[in-house]
Amino acid sequence: MNDGVLVEMPAPGVTRLVLNRPDSFNALSSHMLSALDGALQSVAENAACRVVVIAAQGRAFSAGHDLREMRTHPDHDFYTQLFSQCSRMMVRIQHLPQPVIAQVQGIATAAGCQLVSMCDLAIASHDARFAVSGINYGLFCSTPSVGLSRNMHRKQAMEMLLTGDFIDADTAQARGLINQVVNADSLEDAVLQLCAKIVAKPEPAVRLGKALFYQQLEMGLNAAYQLAGQTMACNMMDNTAQEGFQAFLDKRKPNWSS
């Protein structure tokens, strides 16, 4: 635990990383980025952790970069370092062996919206709103556009990027940015229910599947199928897959505990 990110274990196999700067709407300062990146590195090495949740204290998920910090350091080297630091943390989420779920309430804007887009899954409360609003202040949200364009259709992403307009949670779900919309008082339970479903699945299949999913997206069709076939062959050699198929043939539930 530190003053930027709280680390919690709300259920077996689940680690929750909680953004803890509610007074600044959980702005992603360089300190916050470092804390979150360090926490992600730690859970990546934790075999007991099967699913990661990124949540936030207070009324907002994250308002994006810390604009006060950015105005305090008006030089190119600082900005380059800050955006590189943020990008490394975002990419780490997809390189993490565990699935990562965003638990979103309130606003998720600019780099905060980017954070939601880079998580593998996302559940939001009905009061959640999303925007990449830098354009309203003279800054095109270039780095958030990377994640956003990989979740939505291009024209939908460009509309958000060029107008800076907010979209509500239902629209975000319809456009593919989030998976579910629930009542605010049900948000944590809905996230933990999804975590439980993933934890119940064999870890090797989840780990191999997540890595393959993102690798094949960057490939041509033939290369993607080649890698997918190799991954499935490796997956089939794992004891959990052998047990799963035998259980199917025996018309019984698989026993993955042994």
Q: What is the pLDDT of residues 107-144, one digit of tens each?
A: 999 999 999 999 999 999 999 999 999 999 999 999 99
Q: Name the nearest CA neighbour of 1 among 22, 24, 18, 25.
A: 18
Task: Read off the pLDDT of residues 20-50 as tens digits, 9 standing for 90 and up.
Answer: 999 999 999 999 999 999 999 999 999 999 9
The mean per-residue pLDDT over the stretch 48-68 comes to 96
Where are the chain's structural domains? 5-199, 203-250
Taking only the tens place, the pLDDT of each residue in 194-253 is: 999 999 999 999 999 999 999 999 999 899 899 889 898 888 888 888 888 888 888 888
Q: Can you say how many angstroms the Cα of residue 197 is from the centroid of all Cα atoms in its chain?
A: 17
CATH class belonging to 203-250? mainly alpha
Strand 5-11's sheet: what is its strand order?
A: 5-11, 14-19, 51-56, 100-104, 121-125, 180-182
pLDDT tier for residue 164 given thresholds of 50, 70 and 90:
very high
**Nearest to residue 55, comparing CAs of 210, 201, 239, 190?**
190
pLDDT score of 87 more than 60 = yes
**Rounded mean pLDDT of the chain?**
94
pLDDT band of residue 258 (cuts 50, 70, 90) is low
- Mean pLDDT lowest for which of 82-91, 149-158, 220-229? 220-229
Confidence of residue 2 (pLDDT cuts 50, 70, 90): low
- More confident call, 15 vs 251: 15
DSSP string, 18-85: EE--GGGTT-B-HHHHHHHHHHHHHHHT-TT--EEEEEESSS-SB--B-HHHHHH--SHHHHHHHHHH
| The pLDDT of residue 217 | 92
Q: Which of 65-79, 82-96, 178-192 has the lowest mean pLDDT?
A: 65-79
Do the beta carbons of residue 84 and residue 71 sit within 8 Å?
Answer: no
pLDDT of residue 246: 86
Greater confidence (71 vs 159) lies with 159
80 phi and psi, to 5 degrees? -60, -45
Q: Does domain 5-199 have CATH number 3.20.20.120?
A: no
The larger pLDDT score, comparing residue 72 to residue 104, is at 104
Residue 142 CB contacts under 8 Å (≥ 6 apart), including other chains = none
Band of the pLDDT at 1, cuts 50, 70, 90? very low
Q: Which residue has the tokens 């890698």?
A: 227
Q: How far apart are the first and last CA of the chain?
A: 34
Q: Which two tokens stand for residue 25?
A: 């709407």
CA dihedral (214, 215, 219, 221) positive or negative: negative
235 versus 166: the higher-pLDDT residue is: 166
Fill in the amino acid letter for 176.
Answer: G
Amino acid in the structure at residue 46: N
Whether residue 163 is predicted with pLDDT greater than 50 in this model: the reply is yes
Q: What is the mean pLDDT of residues 38-63?
A: 96
Among 7, 56, 54, 2, residue whose Cα is nearest residue 27:
56
Residue that has been written with the tokens 């052998």 in this structure: 242
